[in-house]
């Protein structure tokens, strides 16, 4: 996941060095301005490959059914051609660079590469038919129509794609919005190198420097200085930020560790610039921003195709669960409504992905005049605020079922760290003040169930030790996420609900 171990960073930086919400100096940055989200070039290119391959396959099948079905004996030859031609074309086009974002931006560049790939595929097919002595048994009219029609479909699709990509590029949705940590000559050199590359996809939004103002200028290579590292955390909470690059030399290890102890809680890629470093490693040791070498420090836990897969998994399973559990949910709703006055659902603000405020749904488990929207007072064993029905649904976690609607809405995931209430406390101390790096659990979407819950760390957190253990499990899940792990947690959750000793 990263080149640095989080525990080593926190240990080296010292206690109390991590980011805490009350440290934010610029509160106005914590409110995001609505803007289109980023688009992943990796996902877009993959979708284009799949769509073009499926289009060519479907066109070949329809062409065969319309022209040759029932009229030729060598159906196997055509079936092989219909399957292999699209696959070969996609492979050749990939090798020719037709599925790079830069090639998709202009139609002419894309058209040349896709035409070359499609033509090469048919030349190879023709040669194979001749060498295998199947040419006389294959319809030349079908081959010519497949070639011409397939090429027309590919070029028409690329016209639409180039317009879409150009519009999204101008809107900045493919740019990786980047913050530079550290100024001076190293910062200027890095910004100049990134700016010199027209297709790097990097948009530098600002410089953040912890040095005193007399050692740090108001701007670096024309990019404004927006504050220090604490300000960077606040900025990232309220603005879209995709990448942080350190220009600080590797020799300043202590300074880097102190900054990382604050920044690792963000769901953002963090890199260490090697552009001006005297130490040279093997090329394979670096990743690259265009042609600028960097060392990977932290990666966003779930990115690109992982985001797509997890979102699809969440929504499909949540929809099936809603259908399967609808009788249970109706029964609980009826029980809540009949046994106590007030609404069936309870809404509560909680911290979601990247500390954004979300509103989650639960079945109401307390008397309506005693509901605690901010969870300022923890629910304890025998709490008089909890209704008899509420006591049962809290122990069995049936009160959480309406959060399936939050999953469909996109605020929650099925599996992830549980979203804690804003004023939740352990030993009368706010959670984020008990555990350094607490907000690192918000690098992914919170979930209805999670690794901590199935390992017994659900319910009351009346001591700092209980909270610490829960956070440790949350971070383990984030660092080791996979679809199989999500599936394991979902299948284990019903059995974990029998452990009710801490659930009140």
- Position 262 scores a pLDDT of 86
The closest of 218, 221, 217 to 204, measured between CA atoms, is 221
- Position 33 scores a pLDDT of 42
- Position 214 scores a pLDDT of 60
- Position 355 scores a pLDDT of 87
- Position 27 scores a pLDDT of 39
The answer to whether the beta carbons of residues 60 and 478 sit under 8 Å apart is no
- Position 25 scores a pLDDT of 42
Radius of gyration (C-alpha) of the chain in whole angstroms: 28
- Position 465 scores a pLDDT of 83
- Position 32 scores a pLDDT of 41
The answer to whether the beta carbons of residues 321 and 403 sit under 8 Å apart is no
Which residues lie closer than 8 Å to 119 by C-beta, 6 or more apart?
A: 147, 151
Report the C-alpha gap between 336 and 491 in whole angstroms: 27
Residue range(s) occupied by CATH 3.40.50.20 in the chain: 6-38+175-298
- Bridge partners of 204, per DSSP, are 178
Between CA 330 and CA 338, with CA 334 as vertex, the angle to 5 degrees is: 175
- Position 428 scores a pLDDT of 64
Q: Which residues of the chain have pLDDT under 50?
A: 1, 22-34, 504
- Position 215 scores a pLDDT of 63
6-38+175-298 CATH, one of 3.90.1150.10, 2.40.160.50, 3.90.1330.10, 3.40.50.20:
3.40.50.20
Q: What's the pLDDT tens digit per position in 355-378? A: 888 999 999 988 887 776 666 667
- Position 261 scores a pLDDT of 85
- Position 487 scores a pLDDT of 94
């Amino acid at each position: 996941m990263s080149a640095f171990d989080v525990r080593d960073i926190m240990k080296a930086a010292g206690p109390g060095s991590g980011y805490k919400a009350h440290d934010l100096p610029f509160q106005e940055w914590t409110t995001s301005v609505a803007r289109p989200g980023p688009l992943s070039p990796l996902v877009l290119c993959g979708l284009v490959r799949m769509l073009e391959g499926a289009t060519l396959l479907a066109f070949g099948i329809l062409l065969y059914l319309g022209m040759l079905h029932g009229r030729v004996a060598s159906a196997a030859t055509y079936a092989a051609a219909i399957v292999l031609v699209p696959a070969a074309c996609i492979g050749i086009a990939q090798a020719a660079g037709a599925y790079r974002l830069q090639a998709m931006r202009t139609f002419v560049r894309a058209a040349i590469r896709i035409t070359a790939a499609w033509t090469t595929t048919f030349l190879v097919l023709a040669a194979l038919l001749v060498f295998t002595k199947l040419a006389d048994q294959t319809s030349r009219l079908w081959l010519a129509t497949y070639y011409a029609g397939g090429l027309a479909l590919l070029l028409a699709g690329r016209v639409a794609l180039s317009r879409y990509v150009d519009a999204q590029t101008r809107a900045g949705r493919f740019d990786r919005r980047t913050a530079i940590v550290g100024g001076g000559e190293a910062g200027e050199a890095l910004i100049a190198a990134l700016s010199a590359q027209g297709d790097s996809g990097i948009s530098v939004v600002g410089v953040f420097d912890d040095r005193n103002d007399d050692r740090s200028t108001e701007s670096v290579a024309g990019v404004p200085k927006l504050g220090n590292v604490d300000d960077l955390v606040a900025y990232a909470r309220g603005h879209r930020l995709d990448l942080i690059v350190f220009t600080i030399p590797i020799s300043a290890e202590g300074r880097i560790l102190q900054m990382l102890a604050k920044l690792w809680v963000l769901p953002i890629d963090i890199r260490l610039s090697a552009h001006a470093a005297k130490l040279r490693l093997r090329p394979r040791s670096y990743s690259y921003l265009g042609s600028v070498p960097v060392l990977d420090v932290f990666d966003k836990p779930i990115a690109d195709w992982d985001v797509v897969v997890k979102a699809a998994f969440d929504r499909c399973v949540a929809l099936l669960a809603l259908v399967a559990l609808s009788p249970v949910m109706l029964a609980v709703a009826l029980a809540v409504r009949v046994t106590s006055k007030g609404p069936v659902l309870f809404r509560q603000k909680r911290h979601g992905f990247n500390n954004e405020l979300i509103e989650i749904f639960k079945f109401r488990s307390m008397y309506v005049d005693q509901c605690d929207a901010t969870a300022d007072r923890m629910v304890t064993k025998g709490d008089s605020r909890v209704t008899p029905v509420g006591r049962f649904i809290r122990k069995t976690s049936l009160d959480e079922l309406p959060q399936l609607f939050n999953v469909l809405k996109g605020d929650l995931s099925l599996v992830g760290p549980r979203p804690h209430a804003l004023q939740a406390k352990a030993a009368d101390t706010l959670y984020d003040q008990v555990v350094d790096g607490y907000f690192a659990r918000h690098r992914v979407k919170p979930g209805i169930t999670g690794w901590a819950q199935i390992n017994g760390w659900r319910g009351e957190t009346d001591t700092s030790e209980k909270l610490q253990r829960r956070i440790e499990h949350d971070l383990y899940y984030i660092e080791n996420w996979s679809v199989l792990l999500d599936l394991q947690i979902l299948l284990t959750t019903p059995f974990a609900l029998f452990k009710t000793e801490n659930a009140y």
